[in-house]
């Protein structure tokens, strides 16, 4: 089974390298990531964790992101993929993301404006994922439906991340993760504290 190697110290993206290696794009996205993770946001405590989680997957991580808004999770994943020069990020949102136009130039990123439970969304999302990131609706029913639909696409060794899981008994995403694990013996999840919590469920 292929799994992500142990996280290591973040590697700074090269700022020069000569030739046409995409370094300018990597540097721009990495700079945006570094800048944003210094600024208060509801994702700040998790941005480095998202970056590290997305790095060093064999062949590059395949990531599905549900919920973009201002793009703090998006840039964490994109910076990792651009640093690795491998993998891809597929993002869904019902609204137009409030992100710089330059991000769309990354050949690592694809965005679809659609409800994440729609057939357009399921057609758009890769059939096999390394990382599923859930941060859209935060009620139990929506979060559970998203898990039911997309967790089966996460391959063994992959990981599911759900934002807003502090107070697991009260939060919709926390309750949804617990319900999913009860229905799938062998799975469990933990809460990573900070910025409303990040639920982490490894798939085996
Ligand atoms: C909390 S924000 C995402 C924040 C983002 N992950 C970040 O780190 O900045 C939630 C986003 O989910 C989107 N959303 C809500 N329900 C959705 C659905 N059913 N399908 C797709 N996107 C949805 C909203 O439009 C909003 O942009």
The per-residue pLDDT of the chain, averaged, comes to 90
Q: Residue 121 and residue 113: Cα distance in Å, rounded? A: 9
Residues 6+ apart with CB under 8 A from 182: none
Mean per-residue pLDDT, 102-106:
94
User: Can you give the pLDDT at residue 16?
Assistant: 35
Joined tokens for residue 55: 């790095």
Q: What is the CB < 6 Å shell around ligand 1?
A: 43, 66-73, 92-95, 115-116, 135-137
Neighbouring C-beta atoms of residue 109, cutoff 10 Å? 23
Could you tell me the distance, in angstroms and rounded to a whole number, from the CA of residue 53 to the centre of ligand 1?
A: 20
Residues found in the chain? 204
pLDDT above 70: percentage of residues in the chain: 88
**2 band by pLDDT with thresholds 50, 70 and 90:** low
Instruction: Say if CB 42 and CB 190 are below 8 A apart.
Output: no
Could you tell me the distance, in angstroms and rounded to a whole number, from the CA of residue 137 to the centre of ligand 1?
A: 6
Could you tell me the distance, in angstroms and rounded to a whole number, from the CA of residue 133 to the centre of ligand 1?
A: 11
Q: In what order do the strands lie in the sheet with 198-202?
A: 109-113, 88-93, 62-66, 129-134, 154-163, 198-202, 190-192
Which tens digits make up the pLDDT trace of 143-200? 999 999 999 999 999 999 999 999 878 899 999 999 999 999 999 999 999 999 999 9
Q: What is the CATH number of domain 41-202?
A: 3.40.50.150
CA-93 nearest atom, ligand 1: 22
Residues 6+ apart with CB under 8 A from 45: 193, 194, 195
Mean per-residue pLDDT, 61-82:
97
Pick from 201, 78, 82, 184: which is nearest to 132 by CA? 201
Could you tell me the distance, in angstroms and rounded to a whole number, from the CA of residue 110 to the centre of ligand 1?
A: 16
Pick from 170, 182, 102, 97: which is nearest to 140 by CA? 170
pTM of the entire predicted model: 0.91
Q: Ligand 1 pocket test: pick from 49, 51, 67 the residue with the most ligand atoms within 8 Å of its Cβ.
A: 67
Could you tell me the distance, in angstroms and rounded to a whole number, from the CA of residue 94 to the centre of ligand 1?
A: 7
């Amino acid at each position: 089974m292929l799994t992500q190697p142990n996280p290591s110290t973040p590697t700074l993206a090269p700022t020069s390298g000569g030739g046409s290696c995409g370094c300018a794009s990597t540097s721009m996205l990495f700079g945006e990531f570094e800048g944003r993770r210094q600024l208060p946001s509801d994702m700040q405590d998790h941005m480095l964790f998202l970056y590290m989680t997305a790095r060093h997957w064999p062949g590059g991580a395949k990531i599905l992101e549900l919920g973009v808004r201002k793009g703090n999770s998006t840039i964490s994943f994109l910076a990792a993929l651009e640093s690795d020069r491998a993998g891809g990020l597929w993002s869904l949102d019902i609204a137009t993301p409030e992100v710089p136009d330059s991000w769309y130039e990354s050949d690592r990123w694809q965005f679809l404006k659609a409800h994440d439970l729609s057939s357009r969304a399921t057609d758009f999302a890769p059939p096999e994922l390394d990382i599923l990131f859930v941060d859209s609706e935060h009620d139990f029913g929506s979060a559970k439906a998203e898990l039911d639909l997309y967790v089966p696409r996460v391959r063994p060794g992959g990981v599911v991340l759900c934002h807003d899981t502090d107070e697991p008994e009260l939060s919709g995403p926390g309750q949804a993760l617990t319900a999913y694990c009860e229905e799938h013996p062998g799975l469990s999840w933990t809460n990573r504290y900070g910025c409303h919590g990040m639920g982490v469920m490894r798939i085996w």
